[in-house]
A and B are shown apart, each in its own frame.
Chain A
Amino acid sequence: MSALLTASREEFVSSFDSFETAEIARLSKTKFLNSLEELNNLDEYYNKASTTTKSISPEKYVTNHSKVENFLESINEKMSLMNTLKLVNSKTVFAELLHKWEGTIIDIDSDNNCFTAIIRDIKDKSKPDEKMKISSSAIMDIDSDVFETGAIFYWTISYMTNESGTKTKQSKIRVRRLKGISSKEISAAKLKAANFLAKIKTLLVHE
């Protein structure tokens, strides 16, 4: 039984290390390591039960045995978590896009861990823009450096099929990283500014 526990634990850690760079695994790793610490405590109970069964009373043996059972149950739960993570983190071989919106962040409410955005339907432009509140947790950790008021983001809902053929529905928000401005955009902005100035001057003359 002890060998099984050791193998399972090694398997957990090596599996996590194998997809270290995956975002979800990274976030869940902390959670997992905390659980592992709890398991270490339970492991002591197991060792105690396996080495002292002959010298302890039947009541104590039952108690310790029950703790070992809980420990194994806990291992199974972690294995289940691992399998889920493996499914999520398996290399995506195909993304079937179901819907896509482009959004602009107009306000970030740090106290309530959410932000307000105007979203536009990219697939159906006849639909009106919508204002909505979205949890800041939806922003991926890797995009936290560009998550700010005024930023543009893309929100996609898709079916992701991984290497093992498992299909999962995924909602993903990625913040836009656009650098530089083209000469035509500068010319267009100058023209817009000139027109705006001309309008202001006209209004001032009328007043």
Chain B
Amino acid sequence: MSQFNLVKDSANIVITGNFNPSIFHPLWFSKHNLLPERHCDAADIEVIHKEVAHMKIDWLNLQVTHDRAMFSTSDATQFEQLRDLVVSVLNILDETPLTQFGVNREMEFKFEETSDWHKIGHTLAPKEVWMNSIADTKEKDCGLNKLVIQIRHDTDFPATIMNLTISPTKMNHVHFGVNNHFELKGILDKDPEFDISTFMQEHWESIILKSHDTVLNAVIHILSED
């Protein structure tokens, strides 16, 4: 029986728009009581500049430039706090022009059997076509390095574009990145009242769960095939 385990699990929210990186200082988070003061005091600051802010505050990783803000955590017990923090930031900076946002989950699975690990690659990226296209290419000489699958859900509102990235990280390990992408312009054309904060609060759990289940279902499906 195939065995595989989740060995890494992280989530991030990426928002594109027009930001002022220099305000993203641990003191700003502390002042608004968005994170515990003690964690803000112990923040690991890479850089805070008018062009870029990059820091780690306890479970939170933050990278902000003029046109992009990424909030992430690799601690699965803090996923809801990540959502709350982003919602709070957007509520405080409610005049910030935003264009797109993504709710993303990154997972890495370890497969106990190397044959199962190969099966994932062979199924998603069959080698025959490449072995036939270049003479003398042996099976062991080609394999999946990185694959991106796009799944559109136009019937949902807002319409979701799910980008799945699959790449082996090391022997028996495969990374699955799930990017749930939302275009704000199209959404606001259909619903001028649309609000990211409300959307995040209402749909966060289902998006995070769906990201996990999509990957899990695909892996189970591949491994159960003869």
Interface string of B1-42 (1 = CB under 8 A from A): 000001111000000000000000000000011111111001
| CB<8 Å pairs between A and B, sample of 22 | A92-B75, A94-B9, A95-B77, A96-B6, A96-B9, A142-B37, A143-B36, A145-B33, A156-B77, A170-B77, A176-B80, A177-B33, A177-B34, A177-B84, A178-B88, A179-B34, A182-B87, A182-B94, A182-B195, A184-B197, A185-B195, A185-B198
Total inter-chain residue pairs, C-beta < 8 Å: 89
Interface size (A, Cβ < 8 Å)? 32
Q: Does A172 contact B (CB under 8 A)?
A: yes
Is B195 touching A183 in the complex (CB atoms < 8 A)?
yes
Q: Does B189 contact A (CB under 8 A)?
A: no
Is B78 touching A174 in the complex (CB atoms < 8 A)?
yes
Q: Which residues of A contact B36 (CB under 8 A)?
A: 142-143, 145
Q: Does A187 contact B (CB under 8 A)?
A: yes
Is A174 touching B81 in the complex (CB atoms < 8 A)?
yes
- Chain A residues 47 to 98 lying within 8 A of chain B, measured CB to CB, are 92-97
Q: Does A158 contact B (CB under 8 A)?
A: yes
The verdict on A182 contacting B198 (CB below 8 Å), with A94-B8, A96-B6, A174-B81 known, is yes
The verdict on A97 contacting B76 (CB below 8 Å), with A177-B34, A184-B195, A184-B198 known, is yes
Q: Which residues of A contact B38 (CB under 8 A)?
A: 21, 142
- Chain B residues 50 to 83 lying within 8 A of chain A, measured CB to CB, are 74-78, 80-81
Q: Does A154 contact B (CB under 8 A)?
A: yes
The verdict on A142 contacting B39 (CB below 8 Å), with A176-B81, A184-B193 known, is yes
Is A179 touching B9 in the complex (CB atoms < 8 A)?
no
Q: Does B123 contact A (CB under 8 A)?
A: no
- How far does the alpha carbon of A39 sit from the alpha carbon of B74 in the complex, in Å? 40
Q: Which residues of B contact A21 (CB under 8 A)?
A: 38, 42
Is B91 touching A180 in the complex (CB atoms < 8 A)?
yes
Is A180 touching B77 in the complex (CB atoms < 8 A)?
no
